[in-house]
Copies of this chain bind each other. A is one copy, B any other.
Amino acid sequence: MSPRNTQFSRDDIVAAAFQLVREEGWNGFSVQAVAKLINSSTMPIYSQFANVRDLEDAVCLKALDLLKERMLTDLTGDRWIDQGIIYVRFAEEEKFLFRALWDARNVDLSKEMGKRFNEFIAATLADYLLFVGLDELEVRMIRLTRMMFAQKLAYWLNVNSNYLKEKGIPELEEYMRRASMAIYHGFRLQFSAESVSATHFCGKGGKNE
């Protein structure tokens, strides 16, 4: 390794690759393009990364870090609703990074990132007030339903920024809040109807004794 090869750190190279993918998608990414961006030959890149795929993986992981960081932003004071809005906005505003996260250039990494992301979100919601007092299956149904709704909305807005407008829905933030609260309160209604009928049953049993 010549000194020239070490003047660029791993982080410098990942940052340059990340910038290319962020602005142009994988089409704009190549070892040559990264080298050009940092004014270097391709040598330092090959000396720091075993192969192109390692560099691609590093770009994906950096995109995941950015998404996770964004997910912690406080928008409305309601963490669960904020996360829905932020996730969908990320898909819309960071079109190429969003695709890099989930479009499975590296299937195993994509799965692993999905798992990590889910764990991260679950941890941030561990003390979320609206879920207190619900049992595990109840929270799971509410969260899974909102998650799939938000994932598909993110997908559509990633593909077409006008998607909601074309569907006659004026505003993402308001729609995300309403849909999330509808899912939440709708399930709560079901849970209380179930516990009322369970109570009735027990009550009746008690009376007969």
The answer on a CB contact under 8 Å between A169 and B153 is no
Most buried by B among A141, A142, A144: A144
Given contacts A148-B152, A149-B145, A152-B151, contact A186 B175 (CB under 8 A): no
Complex: how many Å from CA A158 to CA B169? 28
- If over half of A's interface residues share one DSSP class (helix, strand or loop), that class is named, otherwise mixed; here it is helix
A181 surroundings in chain B (CB, below 8 A): 186, 190
Report how many copies the assembly holds: 2
Min CB gap A6→B, angstroms: 42
- Nearest 4 pairs of A and B residues by beta carbon: A186-B186, A182-B186, A148-B152, A152-B152
Q: Does A178 contact B (CB under 8 A)?
A: yes
Q: Can you show 8 pairs from A to B with CB atoms below 8 A apart? A: A137-B168, A141-B175, A151-B152, A179-B183, A181-B186, A182-B183, A182-B190, A185-B189
A167 surroundings in chain B (CB, below 8 A): 140, 144
Q: Does A187 contact B (CB under 8 A)?
A: yes
Most buried by B among A167, A181, A182: A182
The answer on a CB contact under 8 Å between B144 and A148 is no
The residue that A184 contacts in the complex, of B142, B156, B178, B186, with Cβ under 8 A, is B186
With A140-B169, A144-B167, A185-B186 known, 7 other A-B pairs at CB within 8 A are: A148-B149, A148-B156, A152-B152, A152-B155, A185-B190, A186-B186, A186-B189
Complex: how many Å from CA A5 to CA B136? 64
Which A residues between 142 and 167 are near B, CB-CB below 8 angstroms?
142, 144-145, 148-149, 151-153, 155-156, 167
Complex: how many Å from CA A161 to CA B153? 22
A183 surroundings in chain B (CB, below 8 A): 145, 179, 182-183, 186
